[in-house]
Amino acid sequence: MLFIFSISIVFLKLSGYKFICQKKYKNFFFERTKCYLAVSITETVFRTIIHPKIYPHHVFKIASTIEKERKRGCPYLTESTKLINKLVSKALMEHFTESLNFMCYCVSKILLFSNSYAVSVYYPENQAQCINGKLIINTRRNSIGGIYRRLPTK
């Protein structure tokens, strides 16, 4: 019975998207924060918010590259990520952040993953939340004792 309960907790923690923020350009005069949106292509967030806003003549291109990379078995879809970031404008990025209630910073890039587990293990130490207009970056490590690592691309 305890085993079933622990499995259900793991599935509740998985999410189809998350925001990752990193502090870049640490200088004496200014500090710039870059935020990314990590999205699983199998979740409803991608199908209801991101996919309908892409121009119809680009949808076939993106769908074909996603299928090619999914057949290879890559958790991080590199070619699809490059293509969607080239096709999506800055205004659409702002629309995605507003619709997902992240009002702190504008997202500068979308990262596409093949499943929600790959999203949950991708850089969790930089996972960000926006609470009352202030950016909070989680700096926790894995509670089991290991350090999270970046997923292999190939």
* Within a domain: 5: no
* Within a domain: 111: yes
* Within a domain: 41: yes
Count of domains observed in the chain:
1
* Within a domain: 49: yes
Q: How is the chain classified by DSSP, letter by letter?
A: -HHHHHHHHHHHH--SEEEEEEEE---SS--EEEEEEEEETTSHHIIIIIGGGS-HHHHHHHHHHHHHHHHHT-SB-HHHHHHHHHHS-HHHHHHHHHHTT--SS-EEEEEEESSHHHHHHSSGGGEEEEETTEEEE-----TTS----PPP--
According to the model, what pLDDT value does residue 125 have? 72
The bridge status of strand 32-40 relative to strand 17-24 is antiparallel
* Within a domain: 34: yes
* Within a domain: 145: no
* Within a domain: 7: no
* Within a domain: 47: yes
pLDDT tens across the length of the chain (154 residues): 444 444 434 443 446 788 888 776 666 566 677 888 899 998 888 888 888 888 888 889 998 999 999 899 888 999 999 999 998 888 888 888 888 888 777 788 999 999 888 888 887 777 887 777 777 777 554 333 334 444 444 4
Give residue 67's domain range. Answer: 15-137
